[in-house]
Chain A
């Protein structure tokens, strides 16, 4: 199923059988995948969750030198304020919202879109302008393309439409495909005559520290890493087409970029599990090493780095700790291994979505713990709190806003986006931050004076109460 034809790629549900709701045995779920199409489930009670628009905007905001027009009512742009907290975005980046009124959602607002694009161009001379659709525009089918076509020529600037809808997929991860395929269609050139020696390091949501760590490791293998698209400019796409290979830091997020580099520019794409936890780092380096004829160097590098960590690993800093994870799937499976490397035990796992990209990880989970349960839900705090309070958890590791609600149960919490986790340095920083959260419980106990906002009745019910089979 091509992701590059059409205005937007087909949904992940259609391409990869992506699930957004499940709670039960991992083994039963794997059997469903093995039988063919797994059953899609829905929630009869749900909480706000990120959508493709939210994720696409995050991806686009990471592209240096570009500007964004959010074509919709003003609230669709609110998450852009997050850029005030991001490094290097002093002043909050470069974006405009068309601020549609009711009348404009009915009659269209192509004139206003034109004005907004022209103003951004005049004010900031960005290298490219992304025009992002929103639910209101997806419903009224406002004509973005003719404005884009006209102004691209007139302003001599690439203007890239991104057709987010907020409802075409139930999984926010679709936003990566949406943004990346739009960028690829505009900027990726075909297979070049010459190729260079560098490796494309595909990075989307990783922190600067995590990127630096993997660049350090690649440098130790004498590999020049070209890290993009996050933090890089649009010329990175042209440069990427000449690379000898691409490798993902988080394959769930980067897959449509890696696949496109392979199919359009002939750059081989490696998508090993994220380099989090000792086994996965070794595997990741080995995969890159094998692709460039440096297997031995990769093995030696791993041995050296593990030796440096040996004292830390011997202390088993998380021994005895029962840890609950609520993360995107690639990170969750990596952190699950890392927790065990450090002597901890996995009490449960919630992943934001789950699909055919994760069957090996699911198998590995079942091999280690045949009765392992898995929860699929993005930002569904009510289900997680129900699970966590039953399981007896010493540390909750998450990335969503409901982390604070978990803390109200008096459970130690770690907000993972702030913690470097990739590579060997990630082992040390995760060990330090996890251990100090478990040891220093003052604030969690302070918060536990107020109960989280769910009924006693809900805590008595099974956590999968509101997950039902979809009636087709």
Chain B
């Protein structure tokens, strides 16, 4: 498929998505096989804008990179990769080395699988992922990296793997492209552990190569965005693992309750435990939201809003803002590069939320088009990326950053998932509104 040109793209390339994914696993050392600048584009154009990345052993910057030159473009770069791989193992300790390729080495035709096979024969734990930028966006890079880990780290058994009851993998959360990825994965893990599940978030602090080796033993794969479906299908094919796509990030009581119901039915959980947990959490959330009431009226919380971001978070936040806070969606722009069929099928829940407001989700990642849409929306609150901040300033309305690229706020561990995440979201939107209030 030929993708459109993009003004001010808000996603790097497949190589960057693979680097973000692999960099979120402790003990994994990516080795870039490409021209020198590919890793720098990632370090300067992705990591500063996707929330802070925790330091885990083996993670840069700077990245191990073969930095191929003209000679290698002409004669091939396989021997340079062999040398880089052998020395990476000596300089950077790791449990798994992953060769990720850029456009130049793919166009030249270097035989990467042969090189990594040779490495394994010498006893190096090394796999590969073909991730040239021309394969697509960061999202595609996440899919390719996850596929490489699943296909090359785990064997397909002769007899089916017995799933461990109550073990759940989380799929579809792309580090940095989802700027709240850490808060989402840790928040959801915490929430699900309260109802007796054992969660394998696969990415983030404490997640290792062993977490991926155990990926086949899950009872259920929980898919949190369209970008987790490829892995879920792959795992179903290989191991027969069930999967559940919940269509987005569950923000607040209603969405979380739906998730808990699905899990209770699907995994035959103790309803008593789940109900008690849910009741407690809902009461806390309701009490805290009641505390918002005076400000809600005094500072005019009830507003028309425009939201711009990726489908999973836009769906979750919009549902919460509409159903729980009584805000009105004027514009919802979905920026992940979904193909036509995905737009039709996967955005159906968002469509349902927007329908009463005679609003339709729009799909584009072109910043100029989005700017025009926001300007024309007549909204009173903008929720989006750094690109939309200047438009909100132009319109003189409050603004909250929630999507990549993030340039005006620091995210170390924040996330908008579940009950606690809903409170965090209300705090942040409230602060944006109060911060704009004329003095």
Chain A CB within 8 A of B316 CB: no
Tell me the nearest residue of chain A to B367, going by C-beta.
Answer: A92
Chain B CB within 8 A of A80 CB: yes
Q: Find B5's partner among A53, A97, A166 (CB 8 Å cutoff).
A: A97
Residue contact A139 to B91, C-beta cutoff 8 Å:
no
What per-residue 1/0 map shows which CB atoms of B226-264 lie under 8 Å from chain A? 000000000000000000000000000000000000000
User: How many contacts between A and B, using CB within 8 angstroms?
Assistant: 255
Chain A CB within 8 A of B113 CB: no
Interface size on A, residues (CB 8 A): 75
Which residues on the B side are within 8 Å of A450 (C-beta)?
55
Residue contact A168 to B70, C-beta cutoff 8 Å:
yes
B28-55: which residues lie under 8 A (CB-CB) from chain A? 32, 34-46, 48-49, 55
Residue contact A90 to B390, C-beta cutoff 8 Å:
yes
Give the distance to chain A from B319, nearest Cβ to Cβ, in Å: 29
Chain B CB within 8 A of A261 CB: no
Given known contacts A48-B32, A51-B37, A167-B73, A75 and B65 CB-to-CB distance under 8 angstroms: no
Residue contact A74 to B40, C-beta cutoff 8 Å:
no
Residue contact B37 to A44, C-beta cutoff 8 Å:
no
User: In the complex, A166 Cα to B39 Cα: how many Å?
Assistant: 12
Residue contact A166 to B35, C-beta cutoff 8 Å:
yes
Residue contact B104 to A96, C-beta cutoff 8 Å:
no
Which residues on the B side are within 8 Å of A47 (C-beta)?
39, 60-65
B141-175: which residues lie under 8 A (CB-CB) from chain A? none
Pick from B5, B102, B134, B386 the residue with the most CB of A within 10 Å.
B5
Pick from B11, B68, B92 the residue with the most CB of A within 10 Å.
B92
Pick from A84, A116, A466 the residue with the most CB of B within 10 Å.
A84
Residue contact B5 to A99, C-beta cutoff 8 Å:
yes
User: In the complex, A105 Cα to B69 Cα: how many Å?
Assistant: 19
Give the distance to chain A from B379, nearest Cβ to Cβ, in Å: 17
Residue contact B41 to A54, C-beta cutoff 8 Å:
yes
Chain B CB within 8 A of A245 CB: no
Chain B CB within 8 A of A146 CB: no
Chain A CB within 8 A of B268 CB: no
Residue contact A50 to B37, C-beta cutoff 8 Å:
yes
Residue contact B133 to A73, C-beta cutoff 8 Å:
yes
User: In the complex, A81 Cα to B32 Cα: how many Å?
Assistant: 21
Which residues on the A side are within 8 Å of B403 (C-beta)?
none
Which residues on the B side are within 8 Å of A401 (C-beta)?
43-44, 60-62
* Interface-side segment among B12-20, B192-200, B298-306, B350-358: B12-20
Chain B CB within 8 A of A361 CB: no
User: In the complex, A417 Cα to B42 Cα: how many Å?
Assistant: 19
Residue contact A458 to B67, C-beta cutoff 8 Å:
no
Q: Find A96's partner among B7, B15, B66 (CB 8 Å cutoff).
A: B7
Which residues on the A side are within 8 Å of B11 (C-beta)?
74
Residue contact A92 to B387, C-beta cutoff 8 Å:
yes
Residue contact A75 to B12, C-beta cutoff 8 Å:
yes
Residue contact B41 to A78, C-beta cutoff 8 Å:
yes
Residue contact A119 to B107, C-beta cutoff 8 Å:
no
Tell me the nearest residue of chain A to B104, going by C-beta.
Answer: A135
What per-residue 1/0 map shows which CB atoms of B86-104 lie under 8 Å from chain A? 0110111100000000111
Residue contact B104 to A136, C-beta cutoff 8 Å:
yes
Given known contacts A85-B48, A168-B70, A402 and B62 CB-to-CB distance under 8 angstroms: yes
Residue contact A453 to B61, C-beta cutoff 8 Å:
no
Chain A CB within 8 A of B83 CB: yes
Which residues on the B side are within 8 Å of A43 (C-beta)?
67
User: In the complex, A405 Cα to B59 Cα: how many Å?
Assistant: 10
Tell me the nearest residue of chain A to B103, going by C-beta.
Answer: A136
Residue contact A73 to B134, C-beta cutoff 8 Å:
yes
User: In the complex, A99 Cα to B7 Cα: how many Å?
Assistant: 10
Which residues on the A side are within 8 Å of B40 (C-beta)?
48-51, 54, 79, 379
Residue contact A79 to B45, C-beta cutoff 8 Å:
yes
Which residues on the A side are within 8 Å of B371 (C-beta)?
91
Chain B CB within 8 A of A140 CB: yes
Chain B CB within 8 A of A87 CB: no
Q: Find A46's partner among B9, B65, B136, B407 (CB 8 Å cutoff).
A: B65
Which residues on the A side are within 8 Å of B57 (C-beta)?
453
Which residues on the A side are within 8 Å of B136 (C-beta)?
101
Give the distance to chain A from B140, nearest Cβ to Cβ, in Å: 10
User: In the complex, A115 Cα to B6 Cα: how many Å?
Assistant: 11
Residue contact A99 to B36, C-beta cutoff 8 Å:
no
Q: Find A102's partner among B7, B93, B132 (CB 8 Å cutoff).
A: B132
Given known contacts A54-B37, A103-B2, A380-B62, A46 and B49 CB-to-CB distance under 8 angstroms: no
Which residues on the B side are within 8 Å of A72 (C-beta)?
103, 133
Residue contact B84 to A46, C-beta cutoff 8 Å:
yes
Given known contacts A112-B5, A381-B62, A78 and B32 CB-to-CB distance under 8 angstroms: no
Interface size on B, residues (CB 8 A): 78
Chain B CB within 8 A of A95 CB: yes
Residue contact B65 to A91, C-beta cutoff 8 Å:
no
Chain B CB within 8 A of A400 CB: yes
Chain B CB within 8 A of A211 CB: no
Which residues on the B side are within 8 Å of A453 (C-beta)?
57-60, 92-93
Given known contacts A75-B41, A80-B8, A455 and B387 CB-to-CB distance under 8 angstroms: no
Q: Find B35's partner among A51, A382, A402 (CB 8 Å cutoff).
A: A51
Given known contacts A49-B36, A400-B62, A96 and B107 CB-to-CB distance under 8 angstroms: no
Chain B CB within 8 A of A76 CB: yes
A360-405: which residues lie under 8 A (CB-CB) from chain B? 379-382, 400-402, 404-405
Chain A CB within 8 A of B279 CB: no
What per-residue 1/0 map shows which CB atoms of B262-294 lie under 8 Å from chain A? 000000000000000000000000000000000
Tell me the nearest residue of chain B to A85, going by C-beta.
Answer: B407
Residue contact A74 to B137, C-beta cutoff 8 Å:
yes
User: In the complex, A231 Cα to B240 Cα: how many Å?
Assistant: 59
Which residues on the B side are within 8 Å of A48 (C-beta)?
32, 36-40, 42-43, 60-63, 65, 67
Pick from A78, A99, A119, A404 the residue with the most CB of B within 10 Å.
A78
A115-144: which residues lie under 8 A (CB-CB) from chain B? 115-116, 119-120, 123-124, 134-136, 139-140
Residue contact B12 to A74, C-beta cutoff 8 Å:
yes
User: In the complex, A115 Cα to B154 Cα: how many Å?
Assistant: 45
Residue contact A92 to B93, C-beta cutoff 8 Å:
no
User: In the complex, A168 Cα to B48 Cα: how many Å?
Assistant: 28
User: In the complex, A101 Cα to B103 Cα: how many Å?
Assistant: 10
Tell me the nearest residue of chain A to B37, going by C-beta.
Answer: A51
Residue contact B3 to A101, C-beta cutoff 8 Å:
yes
Residue contact B134 to A91, C-beta cutoff 8 Å:
no
Residue contact A457 to B62, C-beta cutoff 8 Å:
no
User: In the complex, A54 Cα to B135 Cα: how many Å?
Assistant: 21
Given known contacts A102-B135, A455-B92, A75 and B38 CB-to-CB distance under 8 angstroms: yes
Residue contact B13 to A73, C-beta cutoff 8 Å:
yes
Residue contact A120 to B7, C-beta cutoff 8 Å:
yes
Chain B CB within 8 A of A64 CB: no
User: In the complex, A454 Cα to B92 Cα: how many Å?
Assistant: 5
Residue contact A167 to B69, C-beta cutoff 8 Å:
yes
Which residues on the B side are within 8 Å of A136 (C-beta)?
103-104, 107, 132-134
User: In the complex, A54 Cα to B40 Cα: how many Å?
Assistant: 8
Cβ-closest 4 pairs across A and B: A48-B39, A78-B45, A75-B13, A73-B133
Interface set of B (CB-CB < 8 Å, partner A): 1-9, 11-16, 32, 34-46, 48-49, 55, 57-70, 72-73, 83-84, 87-88, 90-93, 102-104, 107-108, 132-137, 367-368, 371, 386-387, 389-391, 393, 405, 407
Interface set of A (CB-CB < 8 Å, partner B): 43-54, 72-82, 84-85, 90-93, 95-105, 112, 115-116, 119-120, 123-124, 134-136, 139-140, 165-168, 170, 172, 379-382, 400-402, 404-405, 408, 450, 453-455, 457-458, 466
Additional A-B contact list (13), CB under 8 Å, known A49-B62, A78-B9, A99-B6: A44-B83, A45-B64, A46-B36, A48-B42, A48-B61, A48-B62, A54-B37, A74-B9, A75-B13, A81-B49, A92-B386, A172-B36, A458-B90
Can you pick out 25 interface pairs between chain A and chain B where the beta carbons lie within 8 Å of each other? A45-B83, A48-B32, A48-B62, A49-B37, A50-B36, A51-B35, A72-B103, A74-B9, A75-B41, A75-B133, A77-B41, A78-B41, A79-B44, A81-B48, A84-B386, A92-B386, A101-B2, A105-B107, A124-B368, A167-B35, A167-B36, A381-B61, A382-B92, A402-B62, A455-B92
